[in-house]
Amino acid sequence: MDSFLIKGGTPLHGTVAVSGAKNAVLPIMAATLLTSEPCVIRRVPNLSDVRFMAQILTWLGAEVSMKEGTVRVQARKIRGAGDYDLVRKMRGSICIMGPLLGRLKKAMVSLPGGCVIGARPINLHLKGFEALGAKVVIEAGYVQATAKRLVGSAMFLGGRSGSTVLGTANVMMAAVLAEGVTVIESAACEPEVVDLATFLNAMGARITGAGSPTMTITGVKELHGAEHEVIPDRIEAATYAIAAVATNGDVTIRGARPDHIHAILDKLKGAGARIDCTSDGLQVRRNGKLKPVDITTLPYSGFPTDAQAQMMALMTLTPGISIITERIFESRFMHVSELTRLGADIEIEGPSAIIKGGKPLSGAPVMASDLRASAALVIAGMAAKGTTQVNRVYHIDRGYENIDGKLRQLGARIERIEES
């Protein structure tokens, strides 16, 4: 397994470009299954998760080509069952279920995997499919959904931690080919959901209210091919912004969408960052001394759970006490033990992490447990004295395109150690 070797203490300076959003492109790739006509998706990041999704689409019978940030898919004839070993490796692969059910009126998909950050049940996905008239059975590790016909209905998709992003996407993709009108209450409002709706509407769907808690989908008989450019990755942009502040650097983030990361920028400003909008992104640097902040993760447009670990790395460097409360995933503090290896002082009390910051970090070997934890450890390693080795960076390759190369462009002393 590859690792990163980081020599810390160098401020980041320069310009970095944000890639397309991983959490947007996976459902959009799945949505190409809804038509037999060719679809073209641009600004697609070169990530292991994207390659996994391409393999899944190919297994289902689609013709897929990937070249220089553009993916072309044509799903003339497809099968209704996903490969067990492929689907179980990546949670995002569950989003093939909605398109298969919508087009074929049947779908069989293995229960998905992904990062180990707590329970992420798909009960709301299945609730939505059943509301459309599908019969759902879980057996031998597979989820099977079948329907003679799908009929639009009103449904509520709120859960214990708020709305479900993938669940909203999945039900939306099934509903576009259902008869009648579907109304989703407590729909996820994330920009990635809006981007999927934009692509589906370009294919001929009739979706209104995307980006609000109430989404209305009027079913159509068929969809056609379309072209689409994926939105920039807001979590990647946030990660580079946090890294700029953590290393006391000055970074311009090209392609960043301030309107997608208001909550993160607000907390960064509170922590002592100066943030200026540019013609095509953001410029981020420190504005005096670092200051502690309290954060609670919430569904969009609140502070995203996917930026929690990175902000914790910054707070370990900040004099004073910061409190981060995780309200989305109950096991998303697995990076805490690794940050303490670098010298951080963090205590866990229930859903909250209490960070007593300001002590200097020193390099050490650490182990990445999930995608965003990996990013947090890279940030901490760049700010620490000495050398940090971050192991198991296959996690970070799932969601950050060429992160080590981009950081080197900004002056970071980071090297990928390839292991057979």
Strand 70-74 vs strand 63-67: parallel, antiparallel, or unpaired? antiparallel
User: What does DSSP assign to residue 301?
Assistant: T
Q: For residue 344, what pLDDT band results from cuts at 50, 70 and 90?
A: very high
Please check whether residues 261 and 338 belong to one and the same domain: yes
- pLDDT at position 89: 65
Q: For residue 110, what pLDDT band results from cuts at 50, 70 and 90?
A: confident
Query: Of 195, 212, 229, which residue sits at a domain end?
Result: 229
- pLDDT at position 83: 67
- pLDDT at position 113: 53
Mean pLDDT of the chain: 94
Q: Per-residue pLDDT for 293 more than 50? A: yes
Query: Of 229, 252, 284, which residue sits at a domain end?
Result: 229
Q: Per-residue pLDDT for 115 more than 80? A: no
- CB of 4 closer than 8 Å to CB of 367: no
Q: Per-residue pLDDT for 108 more than 50? A: yes
pLDDT tens track for 170-201:
999 999 999 999 999 999 999 999 999 999 99
Q: Which residues pair with 185 in a beta bridge?
A: 156, 214
Please check whether residues 336 and 193 belong to one and the same domain: no
- CB of 102 closer than 8 Å to CB of 115: no
The tokens of 173 are what? 């993709």
Judged by DSSP in three states, 62 sits in coil
How many Cβ atoms are within 10 Å of 222's Cβ, its own excluded? 13
Please check whether residues 321 and 371 belong to one and the same domain: yes
Q: Per-residue pLDDT for 118 more than 60? A: no
Q: Per-residue pLDDT for 114 more than 50? A: no
pLDDT tens track for 349-371:
999 999 999 999 999 999 998 99
Please check whether residues 298 and 221 belong to one and the same domain: no
Please check whether residues 225 and 252 belong to one and the same domain: no
- Report the predicted TM-score, pTM, of the whole model to 2 decimal places: 0.95
CATH of the domain at 262: 3.65.10.10
Give the C-alpha separation, 64 to 75, whole Å: 9
* H-only helix segments in 165-291: 165-175, 191-202, 234-246, 262-270
Tell me what percent of the residues of the chain surpass a pLDDT of 90.
Answer: 86
Query: Of 214, 229, 244, which residue sits at a domain end?
Result: 229
- CB of 96 closer than 8 Å to CB of 66: no
28 φ, ψ (degrees, to nearest 5): -65, -40
User: What does DSSP assign to residue 231?
Assistant: P
Please check whether residues 240 and 276 belong to one and the same domain: yes
Please check whether residues 251 and 333 belong to one and the same domain: yes
DSSP string, 341-359: HTT--EEEETTEEEEEE-S
Q: What residue numbers bound the domain in which 287 lies?
A: 3-17+232-417
* H-only helix segments in 176-300: 191-202, 234-246, 262-270
Q: For residue 80, what pLDDT band results from cuts at 50, 70 and 90?
A: confident
Give the C-alpha separation, 381 to 367, whole Å: 12
How many Cβ atoms are within 10 Å of 420's Cβ, its own excluded? 4
* Number of separate domains in the chain: 2
Give the mean model confidence (pLDDT) for residues 94-106.
95
- pLDDT at position 119: 41
How many Cβ atoms are within 10 Å of 1's Cβ, its own excluded? 12
Q: Looking at this protein, which amino acid is placed at residue 381?
A: G
Please check whether residues 202 and 266 belong to one and the same domain: no
Please check whether residues 181 and 278 belong to one and the same domain: no
- pLDDT at position 2: 92
Give the mean model confidence (pLDDT) for residues 273-298.
96
Of the candidates 4, 5, 15, the one whose C-alpha atom is nearest the C-alpha of residue 285 is 15
**CA 50-56-60 angle, 5° bins:** 145
Please check whether residues 241 and 305 belong to one and the same domain: yes
Q: Looking at this protein, which amino acid is placed at residue 113?
A: G
Residues annotated catalytic, as ranges: 115
- pLDDT at position 213: 97
- pLDDT at position 93: 82
Please check whether residues 240 and 369 belong to one and the same domain: yes
Burial of 50 (0-12, 13-18, 19+ CB in 10 A): buried
- pLDDT at position 88: 67
pLDDT tens track for 297-317:
999 999 999 999 999 999 999
Rg (the chain; Cα; Å): 21
- pLDDT at position 120: 45
Contacts of 269 by beta carbon, 8 Å cutoff, 6+ apart: 275, 287
Give the C-alpha separation, 396 to 394, whole Å: 5
- Segment among 69-78, 137-146, 406-415 with least mean pLDDT: 137-146
Please check whether residues 91 and 210 belong to one and the same domain: yes
